Amino acid sequence: MTQHDDCPLCHPTGERVLWHNGRLRVIAVDDAGYPGYTRVIWNDHAAEMTDLTPQEREAFMAVVWQVEQAQRQCLQPDKINLAQFGNMVPHLHWHAIPRWREDSHFPQAIWAAPPERTPQQAQAWEARKAHLLQQLPDYYTRLAAALAPEPQADPMAPAPDEPNTLNGPLLTHLQNLDEVWKETLREPEPKNALRNLAAFLKTRLAEGAEIYPRYPFRALSYAAPDSVRVVILGQDPYHGPGQAQGLCFSVPDDFPAPPSLQNIFKELALEYPDPDGAAAGRPQRGAVRPPGNLGHDLTPWAEQGVLLLNTVLTVESGQPASHAKQGWEAVTDALIQRVARSPQPKVFMLWGSHAQAKRQLLPADGEHLVLLANHPSPLSALRPPRPFIGCNHFRLANEWLSAQGAQTIDWTGMGCDESAADGG
């Protein structure tokens, strides 16, 4: 997240936050003269609405409309003033100010000189204010409920009884992606590669090949490039039935953890030992239980802005690397470069020589953090000079994100580094 050291909205103190997510927060303004006065603030430091993508502008204004709706329902104002100034603090925020005919400035703006009021008018306004102050708890509760996200099923997650084989022509899987991903994939090199891949996959399916996963672009469905906070690169999907989910290293919870995923869990247990001391700062032997509330399915990471991207997005049953060098590399290189061009701070975890070869796609100016280690495979996880076990990448990522003023990742589902996670 981009922040400015001297911006009071980048570094707020004493805010009463009514609701927030990774991009926005809604705060109650402490103004005794105007009960229900609310601000909607874009967390990133941007000056104008046109600094945002169309999707971001839509998300921003959807929250403003929800604030207005809750004010109308609970406070029943005669008018609502919506304003976006930023002349003194050029950080995007909207004011939502409920107004009444009795208030001390009506019909003028609240920043204007107040018109003269008779004692009867002033008394009527004080009586109305007293009633409105009693309504504020209901307004705050209703607003938070209106903004709470509806629980939604992941449209790209196969149902338990659904096969994880490729579903339909490849290019149809692009339709539901964020527009920024689509624009990236319309560039000449990935566009041509996708056209060739579509023909290749169509031929292989006609020849009876079983291809995984069902939704090759699933990793892109959780965040646009600017919302990605951490990138973890894998090679190609798991090649066994039911395993590949479209997220690198991840398998459904009811599947055994593959060896590389077990080593990821071992490293997490080293960095975030169980509160009861069971991990005791050392890897467990045998079957490795995921730490905290994490399962074998890494979707909770993806939902926090961790891009779990394989560099090849399809594979044939029982044939690892069977779709390597068919064009996927041009596609995923374009995606990696688009994420790297984003100004928001990001961590790239490059595990193994295959992932580390992508370092040349990243800017060399140190804008993002690049962490290198061996692949978590049992063949290399303990091998010097950069063993994966003991790399401390998950903690290093959170410490760096926090230092940049960005929100950290809850790697274990237990609120790890919770104190740092509020930094953005």
Q: Tell me the CATH number at 331.
A: 3.40.470.10
The proportion of the chain whose per-residue pLDDT surpasses 70, expressed as a percent, equals 90
Q: Could you tell me if residue 192 is inside a domain? A: yes
CA distances from 80 to 24, 93, 97, 226 (A): 21, 16, 6, 32
* Active centre residues (catalytic): 236
pLDDT tens-place string over residues 2-37: 667 788 888 887 788 888 876 889 999 988 889 999
Q: Could you tell me if residue 128 is inside a domain? A: yes
For the ranges 139-143, 285-289, 316-320, which has the lowest average pLDDT? Answer: 285-289
Q: Is the pLDDT of residue 147 over 60?
A: yes
For the chain, the average pLDDT equals: 88
Q: Could you tell me if residue 8 is inside a domain? A: no
**What mean pLDDT comes out for the span 315-342?**
95
Predicted confidence at residue 277, as pLDDT, reads 46
Q: Could you tell me if residue 158 is inside a domain? A: no
pLDDT tens-place string over residues 342-382: 888 899 999 999 999 999 999 887 789 999 999 999 999 99
Per the structure, the count of domains in the chain is: 2
DSSP for 140-183, written as a single string: HHHHHHHHSPPP---TTSPPTTS--S--S-GGGGGTTS-HHHHH
**Cβ neighbours of 322 (radius 10 Å):** 17
**What mean pLDDT comes out for the span 378-400?**
95
**Cβ neighbours of 169 (radius 10 Å):** 12
**Cβ neighbours of 97 (radius 10 Å):** 22
The three-class DSSP label of residue 81 is strand
107 and 174, same domain (yes or no) = no
DSSP for 19-80, written as a single string: EE-SSEEEEE---TTSTT-EEEEESS--SSGGGS-HHHHHHHHHHHHHHHHHHHHHH--SEE
178 and 127, same domain (yes or no) = no
Predicted confidence at residue 207, as pLDDT, reads 95
pLDDT tens-place string over residues 225-261: 888 999 999 999 999 999 999 999 999 998 999 999 9
Predicted confidence at residue 424, as pLDDT, reads 29
pLDDT class of 153 with cuts at 50, 70, 90:
low
Range of the domain at 181: 170-404
pLDDT tens-place string over residues 109-121: 998 998 988 999 9
Q: What letter represents residue 257's amino acid?
A: A
Angle in degrees, CA 96, 97, 103, rounded to 5: 175
